[in-house]
Amino acid sequence: MKSFTQVTGLVAPMDRANVDTDMIIPKQFLKSIKRTGFGKNLFDELRYLDEGQPDQDCSHRPLNPNFPLNQRRYQGSTVLLARANFGCGSSREHAPWALEDFGFRCVIAPSFADIFYNNCFKNGLLPVVLPEPVVEKLFQQLYANDGYQLTVDLEAQAVTTPDGEVFTFEVDDFRKHCLLKGLDDIGLTLEQADAIKAYEAKRRQEAPWLFDAVKAETAKR
């Protein structure tokens, strides 16, 4: 798993609430069997003026000049500033894959949808929850200042503005630990294989119908 420690970078705005994962990466791009290459289709329907197709060269497609990611001042952004309930809808992990592939390392919002929030941590993308008034303040600062940057520090659980103002955020210890170190969480779980086997043996005894039925019944028919 990719690690995240600290990032200082340009901030781009995604100034609408309830941004869904269909908007982050539309369905036609989910046909890929790879984990990479989704960045060029991030926010495809907002970013381009035509309908995107899988495996298409996007360099000649007409861009929507009103979309922030197409504007000069936001080129090279690594932090996305967003509104409430970011990442709602479909569980597609292609959404964090697209954000990460595009170059974002961190998304800041007043709230996230649960599955999206979870998926981010698996991909070195840090979702940061800050209170609504703080996010509003950051939006105002961002719009008022070209080249606006933020520093996001996971170890310190802090976001620092160019004026030196610091906002702290919450994150689960285990997720923080895995993300800081870039740990393989499957490997960590497999260290508990004995506990899993013990649980499984007990469950098989108490509820044998939970085991083998799909394989056994299908073999009969």
Partner 1 sequence: MSARTLYDKLWDSHVVQQRDDGSALIYIDRHIIHEVTSPQAFEGLRLAGRKPWRVDSILATPDHNVPTTQKERASGVAGIEDPVSLIQVQTLDDNCDAYGIVEFKINDARQGIVHIIGPETGACLPGMTVVCGDSHTATNGALGALAHGIGTSEVEHVLATQCLVSKKMKNMLVEVNGTLGVGVTPKDVILAIIGKIGTAGANGHALEFGGDVFRNMSMEGRMTVCNMAIEAGARAGMVAVDDTTIDYVRGRMFAPKGEDWEKAVASWQDLHSDPGAVFDKVVTLRAEDIEPQVSWGTSPEMVGPVGAKVPDPAAESDPAKRESMVRALEYMGLKAGQPIESIKLDRVFIGSCTNARIEDMRAAAQVVKGRRKADSVKEAMVVPGSGAVKAQAEAEGLDKIFLDAGLEWREPGCSMCLAMNADKLGAGEHCASTSNRNFEGRQGYGGRTHLVSPAMAAAAAIAGHFVDVRDFVEGGQA
Give the footprint of partner 1 on this chain (CB under 8 A).
Answer: 16-18, 20, 22-23, 26-28, 30-35, 45, 51, 54-55, 83-85, 88-93, 96, 111, 113-115, 118-119, 122-123, 172-175, 184-187, 189-190, 192-193, 195-196, 199-200, 203, 206-218
Cβ proximity to partner 1: between 147 and 187 the closer is 187
What letter represents residue 168's amino acid? Answer: T
Q: Which helix (H) or strand (E) holds 185?
A: helix 185-190
Q: How far is the CB of 163 from partner 1 (least distance, A)?
A: 25
Q: What share of the chain is helix, strand, coil (3-state, %, to 5)?
A: 45, 15, 40
Cβ proximity to partner 1: between 145 and 211 the closer is 211
Cβ proximity to partner 1: between 10 and 48 the closer is 48
Question: Can you list the alpha helix ranges (DSSP code H) found in 10-131?
Answer: 21-24, 44-47, 94-102, 114-121
Cβ proximity to partner 1: between 45 and 153 the closer is 45
Q: Let me know how long the chain is.
A: 221
Please say whether the beta carbons of 67 and 46 come within 8 A.
yes
Q: How far is the CB of 75 from partner 1 (least distance, A)?
A: 25
Cβ proximity to partner 1: between 3 and 75 the closer is 3
Q: How far is the CB of 101 from partner 1 (least distance, A)?
A: 13
Q: How far is the CB of 165 from partner 1 (least distance, A)?
A: 23
Q: How far apart are CA 169 and CA 177, in angstroms?
A: 15
Q: Which two tokens stand for residue 191?
A: 């260290």
Q: How far is the CB of 48 from partner 1 (least distance, A)?
A: 11
Q: How far apart are CA 52 and CA 58, in angstroms?
A: 8
Q: Which residues contact 75 (CB under 8 A, 6 or more apart)?
A: 10
